[in-house]
Chains A and B, each alone.
Chain A
């Protein structure tokens, strides 16, 4: 971590290999990535390196393709009929869209939390245990469930009612349950698609604190509409916008403090100061 702090910030978006002696470890990198929905190009030419154990926020106006980029990192776009990805997304040096790569394997290592809390209509315990079970977890399930719930800062609230339905929880608790469920399968990266947009401010704050705690163990990539959230809760920020051909592209990527205090692009400044978007 110290290492990253000391690295002078470079424009990762435009430089293929950062000109520093000790580059930060990269969890996932997109190279020339574009996503098509049938004939429509939703995003184009994305070059993005997400730093290990850091929080990367993806921001931008509606329709700029930031959720599409996020879903490309764990092949969730495969579920949309007619969706197609070009370029490369490298995870541990392997292109996850390469031949012979099983999307199931990718999704186990790259977990995801969705916009609306979507617990399974099962007990709290089963919500957390199911992912581990289907992935062939052989250890002590009780310990795994407790550990995941503790990491998600939910254990104290639910330890007495693990057998109750996941739907009996409040919205914020449900979202933390979904986070616990995602980290119970021990992913390396957790993708979050506007995880607080359906929550009230107090629940939002708790999730943001939780995300800060989780980054020591996981690389987190979060899509957010809320610029304060990106400023408060992320280490790196990627700003996307829509081109004239309606394809989203990466405008600027860098340390969050730099993006918000001294952006290099006029468009970024316009967006973060609320002049459009």
Chain B
């Protein structure tokens, strides 16, 4: 470079550097820039705080409703029944022998009501309590034979439940939330003493072992979620059975075999769009296809396995599971595709260069290496299916059933459906059991996710 050109270049460079702010102005600009940075940082922090607060409020509301004081009025207090049997007053009703419980029933339940109970299920294998032997034999020999003729006898727990329902009849007359119960106990006690002199005030956890174990019941104090838990698990089982293999297989095909042509691109785009379709629409789809068109399959009548009398029609666990399976299928496919795409190309090449076939390479290298990612996506999809309500309402979940599902062709209800039903009731007790059911739902979800994550981590560790 000539000296002249060099000088010119230097001058030009000076001109350019003078176009940046100098001295005071530079300091000011720097301050302004860093202020803006701080502002945005605060904005992001605020968003996080809002999110955390909303979550905490949600948890607080649920917990607040799940525990609290209740005023119970029993038609006949359990102490009276214990005393009537001549037992020491510290004996608990729940611990009594079946014999004593039946004698309480015999004393307090009308003959006809007792007969009905016995015809549903007898109290003892060896003797009858309410029904005379001859009319029983006639009944069981005749065309109107009732379940009691064949079922085994009731166990102690079920008889105790009958005593509670028919004799003690605990009746919740007033309830309070957890915070009220904690901080305002004195005024609650005064209120109970004034308004319900016969009532007993007790601190009640609406989430309890009996709540989880009992079936649905019109009385909120006795209602439980056993049926709903079984229903949810059955439905989820069919969802996994359908969505996991189909989703993973479709993802493998799209990523490993499909060529990059117009049709396949269209399919890929549409799978992404399907993931955003509102769940109620899947409900309509499930209703149209599984409940109506495929009724003979989903009701089990094609296999001769349907419920007696075909009460469930196509509104069975299979239909619900397949509907939810369709709902989460796009999510499973997309997350599996991403996991498969993340497997380094070098592994596929290494496999193929050794003379392995494409399928051998996919089976030994691609799928195992994508498995943790596939499982993560599936876990998230299953959590979503577990909490879905809308499509099941459309597919026809039962709102009130008290029998556990017995198989894929049973009528069913699920936890979210149960919660939805209860929250729409006006009585405050139902709000409490809805909150309790939410607690159980959350715990179950956490347990399911934890199991899946542990499984996934174990998978990951083997190289």
Question: Which A residues are closer than 8 A to B by beta carbons?
Answer: 74, 76, 79, 81, 104-105, 107-109, 111-112, 114, 116, 118-123, 130-131, 134-135, 165, 178, 181-182, 185
The answer to whether A118 touches B349 (Cβ under 8 A) is: yes
Chain A neighbourhood of B346, CB < 8 A: 114, 116, 118
Chain A neighbourhood of B357, CB < 8 A: 104, 134
B interface residues, how many (CB within 8 angstroms): 20
The answer to whether A118 touches B355 (Cβ under 8 A) is: no
Q: A81-B260, A118-B347, A130-B364 are in contact. Are A123 and B463 (CB under 8 A)?
A: yes
5 closest A-B pairs (Cβ-Cβ)?
A108-B355, A131-B354, A112-B353, A118-B346, A134-B356
The answer to whether A114 touches B354 (Cβ under 8 A) is: no
Q: How far is the CA of A146 from the CA of B352 in the complex (A)?
A: 22
Q: How far is the CA of A265 from the CA of B314 in the complex (A)?
A: 82
Q: How far is the CA of A53 from the CA of B348 in the complex (A)?
A: 28
Per a CB cutoff under 8 Å, which of B344, B355, B364, B463 touches A104? B355
Chain B neighbourhood of A122, CB < 8 A: 463
The answer to whether A121 touches B355 (Cβ under 8 A) is: no
Q: How far is the CA of A81 from the CA of B258 in the complex (A)?
A: 11
Task: Please indicate which of the listed interface residues B260, B352, B353, B357 has the most CB atoms of chain A within 10 Å of its own CB.
Answer: B353
Q: Does residue B259 face the partner (Cβ distance < 8 Å to A)?
A: yes
Closest to B355 in A: A108
Over the window 234-275 of chain B, the binary record of Cβ atoms lying under 8 Å from chain A Cβ atoms (1 yes, 0 no) is 000000000000000000000000011000000000000000
The answer to whether A134 touches B354 (Cβ under 8 A) is: yes
A63 CB to nearest B CB, Å: 20
Question: Which B residues are closer than 8 A to A by beta carbons?
Answer: 259-260, 344, 346-357, 360, 364-365, 369, 463
Closest to A135 in B: B355
Per a CB cutoff under 8 Å, which of A105, A107, A123 touches B354? A107
The answer to whether A134 touches B350 (Cβ under 8 A) is: no
Q: How many A-B residue pairs have CB under 8 A?
A: 70
B61 CB to nearest A CB, Å: 47
The answer to whether A111 touches B353 (Cβ under 8 A) is: yes
> 14 A-B contacts, Cβ less than 8 Å apart?
A74-B353, A81-B260, A104-B356, A104-B357, A105-B355, A107-B353, A107-B354, A116-B346, A118-B349, A118-B350, A130-B356, A134-B354, A134-B360, A165-B463
Q: A121-B369, A121-B463 are in contact. Are A131 and B356 (CB under 8 A)?
A: yes
Chain B neighbourhood of A185, CB < 8 A: 354-355
A193 CB to nearest B CB, Å: 10
A195 CB to nearest B CB, Å: 13
The answer to whether B355 touches A107 (Cβ under 8 A) is: yes
Q: How far is the CA of A104 from the CA of B348 in the complex (A)?
A: 13
Chain B neighbourhood of A108, CB < 8 A: 354-355
The answer to whether B463 touches A130 (Cβ under 8 A) is: no
The answer to whether A182 touches B369 (Cβ under 8 A) is: no
Chain B neighbourhood of A114, CB < 8 A: 346, 349-350, 353
Q: How far is the CA of A104 from the CA of B361 in the complex (A)?
A: 11
Per a CB cutoff under 8 Å, which of B259, B344, B356, B360 touches A118? B344
Q: How far is the CA of A112 from the CA of B351 in the complex (A)?
A: 10
Q: How far is the CA of A254 from the CA of B364 in the complex (A)?
A: 42
The answer to whether B350 touches A120 (Cβ under 8 A) is: yes
Given contacts A116-B346, A121-B463, A134-B354, 11 further A-B contacts (CB under 8 A): A76-B353, A108-B355, A114-B349, A118-B346, A120-B364, A121-B369, A131-B354, A131-B355, A134-B355, A134-B357, A182-B354
Chain A neighbourhood of B351, CB < 8 A: 120
Chain A neighbourhood of B347, CB < 8 A: 118, 120-121
Q: How far is the CA of A152 from the CA of B346 in the complex (A)?
A: 21
Q: A81-B259, A120-B347 are in contact. Are A181 and B463 (CB under 8 A)?
A: no
Chain B neighbourhood of A81, CB < 8 A: 259-260
A200 CB to nearest B CB, Å: 20
